[in-house]
Amino acid sequence: MTSPAELTGRTSLPVPGDLFARHQTITGLRALADFLEANPAVPVKEYGGDYHVFTNEGDDAAGVALVDQAAALLGVPIYDNRSHGGHYGAHKSFGRISYRIVHIPDRQMNEHHAHMSYRDNIRLDPEQSA
């Protein structure tokens, strides 16, 4: 069996804070599922929902490697829209809930930040916002 470190070449162990966040997330998801099951009057989304994870690795290669690792563990293919200005990721559905891991390439993120840097400079006249 291939270990996660062999999949990505990462050799560092998880940081204790990462393990704590992971534990809290899993505990919270289980608590939510238990609550919803025990309280059928509480509405849920008809078509389910997504659990999104965005890579926070230092560079594109590390972010892509993390997506590759997750896709291998999930047993799903990768989608790669980087050549069209898009993202690199993978997703797997668990019933109506899906897990989605996404890497936004540095170039696309920098373009987004540049575009958003103008947002405070554009203001509607009061008559236009009504």
Q: How far apart are CA 62 and CA 69, in angstroms?
A: 10
Domain locations along the chain: 48-119
Please calculate the CA angle 92-95-96 and round it to the nearest 5 degrees: 90
- The overall average pLDDT reported for the chain is 84
pLDDT digits (tens, 9 = 90+) for 9-45: 554 556 556 888 889 999 999 999 999 999 999 999 9
Half-sphere exposure at residue 63, Cβ-oriented, CA atoms within 13 angstroms: 20
Q: How far apart are CA 88 and CA 68, in angstroms?
A: 9
Q: Is 55 helix (H, G, I), strand (E, B) or coil?
A: coil
The helix (H) or strand (E) run that includes residue 66 is helix 60-74
pTM summary value: 0.71
pLDDT band of 61, cuts 50, 70, 90 = very high
pLDDT digits (tens, 9 = 90+) for 65-111: 999 999 999 999 999 998 888 889 999 999 999 999 999 887 776 66
Q: How far apart are CA 3 and CA 9, in angstroms?
A: 10
- Give, in order, the Cα–Cα distances in Å from 82 to each of 71, 122, 124: 17, 29, 34
